[in-house]
Amino acid sequence: MKVLVIGSGGREHALIWKIDQSPRVKKIYCAPGNAGIAGLAECVPIAADDIQKLLEFAKKEKIGLTVVGPEAPLSMGITDLFENEGLRVFGASMKAAEIESSKSFSKAIMTKYGIPTAEGMVFTNYRKAEAYIRKKGAPLVVKADGLAAGKGVIVCSTEKEAIDALDSILVKQAFGDAGKRVVVEECLTGEEASFLAFTDGITVLPLPSSQDHKPVFDDDKGPNTGGMGAYSPAPVVDRYIHKRVMDEIMIPTVRAMAAEGRPYKGVLYAGLMIDRDRIKVLEFNGRFGDPEAQPLLIRMKNDIIPVMEAVIEERLHECKLEIDERASVCVVMASGGYPGSYKKEIPIKGLKDAARIKDVVVFHAGTKLKDGSVVTNGGRVLGVTALGDTVTAAIDKAYQAVSMIKWEGIQYRKDIGKKAVMRKAVIPMVEIVMGSDSDYDVMEETVAVLKKFGIPFGITVASAHRSPERASGIAKTARARGIKVIIAGAGHAAHLAGVLASFTSLPVIGVPIDSSCLSGFDSLLSTVQMPPGIPVATVAVGKPGARNAGILAAQILGISDPALSAMLDAFKKEMALQVEKKAAKLADFR
């Protein structure tokens, strides 16, 4: 099969690198491509947004599959145009791509279908927008409605900045037609993560999580760029957050798009802001992210072609993604001056040496060939991407390769992946020990509470009967590891909490789990009925107990943590308020 990839960045190089590994593919074309892509594909000089010319080319060359990288051709309707001519395209339709190309549309969809996002409003009228800004007060975020090459979002820390942003978008038309409407929304805090999934409009098949680094300088300083690096996985998206993103965002969004008569097929990208247990959508993109595509595709083990075909043919339920367990890191090397003005056509040295390092791929973005040598041709020039057994190992390998590449005026961030390392270095205060991984469904309630209060925790499995040494080892070392409270969840003759309690003087909370024909009565008695001197604080059976175990652990920690104890007080008040509200609703019931 002949494949045509549209675009010219690091994302498209990564896509082509992956597509090239498919035994199904005989020839790859790229329009317009770059110097790195030219090593794997035939580059054709057609701009990514010249969709008529691309159609003529695809028909003439009998292209079997067209893969669209950037947003512009999708928003112009390339998928609809090609499909009307009987050509197969991997990319969202024009109506579906509006989830990215119109921020007011995506805000309306999220509001209508209860998908969590920043609170905000859409305006075309300057005065009304100004009044809203004054009413809400800073900080606020002002966004041009349409595509603005990643520059249409202005995070404003003062009212004046927000009004200036409004003036520049609505009045001065800094982004042209893209700024005919603006979205003004609350400024969210937390940690950002990118969540991408393949979808055929019905099934949602998630890729691993990742995180982009938008600002140009280390420690997230300086102006925003297209992305100065990325890594995968993003530890902020743990198992609990992952499940909620799927249940509360990805699946409902795909369902919502179908219900609106805009079935979404392709890659759906949710930009998220995560703060403890609160997850909100910052934006949707209708395609792979750049640079996220590089660290994601290097981890994907499957042949990508059958997955893309399954998306097009609406049989994605047949597919399963195989993901490399290792972490990946992509460091973007950029031209000096980027994201402002920069020089072009500067010769790049060291590319071959860097590419020889095992588990490193140097993806090209803004490069071209001049007199047979690779020269710079854009702001973001290369995406040096590496795999490692740990995120630290991947970082080291990527920077080892980066250090071998040189050109005049080169710039890159030195801290790509640092947030992942820092998050992994946080010392847990609570350890959740489960008798079996099948207990997670119940113990997720504990996880939810600990997340809510921002309490760092660890979670593991140990059996009092099948791995008593492991269980005792966990308890014996807990204090030295910084643990303050142990929560043990187990079913059947649940001796786990008792065994742990006998090896530590830390408080142990036991969660009896209903997993036998005795409906949890067995685990309740074996957890609660401890001999004198070895107490286990026992909570109710099952999920309510697991939830209370989390709250009790928070209360124990709150004794020496005023901020946490204030959060617990607020939590109690909120519960009382909920009861009042329910009582009020029943007041006139006779």
* C-alpha closest to that of 321 among 338, 339, 300, 341: 300
Nearest approach in angstroms of CB 282 to ligand AMP is: 4
What SS3 state is found at 303? coil
Q: Give yes or no for residue 282 binding ligand AMP (CB under 6 A).
A: yes
Q: How many residues bind ligand AMP (CB under 6 A)?
A: 12
Nearest approach in angstroms of CB 183 to ligand AMP is: 9
Q: Are strands 485-491 and 430-434 parallel, antiparallel or unpaired?
A: parallel
Closer by beta carbon to ligand AMP, 147 or else 541: 147
Q: Are 127 and 121 within 8 A, CB to CB?
A: no
Nearest approach in angstroms of CB 281 to ligand AMP is: 9
Per residue, the 3-state secondary structure of 362-386, as one string, reads EEECCEEEECCEEEECCCEEEEEEE
Contact pick of 89, 115, 188, 241 for ligand AMP (by CB under 6 A): 188
| Cis peptide bond prior to 139, omega within 30° of 0 | yes
Nearest approach in angstroms of CB 93 to ligand AMP is: 21
CA distance 162 to 581: 36
Contact pick of 12, 71, 100, 192 for ligand AMP (by CB under 6 A): 192
Closer by beta carbon to ligand AMP, 188 or else 381: 188
Contact pick of 71, 283, 445, 522 for ligand AMP (by CB under 6 A): 283
Contact pick of 179, 271, 286, 291 for ligand AMP (by CB under 6 A): 271
Q: Are 501 and 469 within 8 A, CB to CB?
A: no
Q: Give yes or no for residue 141 binding ligand AMP (CB under 6 A).
A: yes
Closer by beta carbon to ligand AMP, 187 or else 568: 187
Q: Mark 153-182 with x for binding to ligand AMP (rule: CB under 6 A) and - for no binding.
A: x-x---------------------------
Closer by beta carbon to ligand AMP, 224 or else 467: 224
User: Which 209-268 residues touch ligand AMP, going by CB under 6 A?
Assistant: 214
Q: Are 378 and 365 within 8 A, CB to CB?
A: yes
The structure tokens listed for 300 are: 């994907």
Nearest approach in angstroms of CB 149 to ligand AMP is: 10
Tell me the β-bridge partners of 230.
212, 330
Q: Are 347 and 405 within 8 A, CB to CB?
A: no
Q: Give yes or no for residue 187 binding ligand AMP (CB under 6 A).
A: yes
Nearest approach in angstroms of CB 293 to ligand AMP is: 16
* C-alpha closest to that of 489 among 419, 535, 557, 441: 441
Closer by beta carbon to ligand AMP, 287 or else 397: 287
Q: Give yes or no for residue 118 binding ligand AMP (CB under 6 A).
A: yes
Any alpha helices (H) in 369-429, and if so which ranges? 391-402, 418-425
What SS3 state is found at 568? helix
Contact pick of 185, 431, 439, 444 for ligand AMP (by CB under 6 A): 185
Task: Tell me how crowded residue 323 is: count the other CB atoms within 10 A of its CB.
Answer: 16
Q: Give yes or no for residue 148 binding ligand AMP (CB under 6 A).
A: no
Nearest approach in angstroms of CB 214 to ligand AMP is: 5
Closest residue to ligand AMP, judged by C-beta, is: 283
Q: DSSP label at 542?
A: H
User: Which 356-415 residues touch ligand AMP, going by CB under 6 A?
Assistant: none
Nearest approach in angstroms of CB 177 to ligand AMP is: 17
Torsion of CA 276, 279, 284, 289, to 10 degrees: 30
CA distance 316 to 536: 48
Give the relative orientation of helices 542-558 and 440-452 as an angle to the nearest 10 degrees. Answer: 30
Which listed range, 18-26, 164-172, 186-194, 419-427, lies at the site for ligand AMP (CB under 6 A)?
Answer: 186-194
Q: What is the largest CA-CA distance in the chain?
A: 89
Residues at the contact surface with ligand AMP, assessed by CB under 6 A: 118, 141, 153, 155, 185, 187-188, 192, 214, 271, 282-283
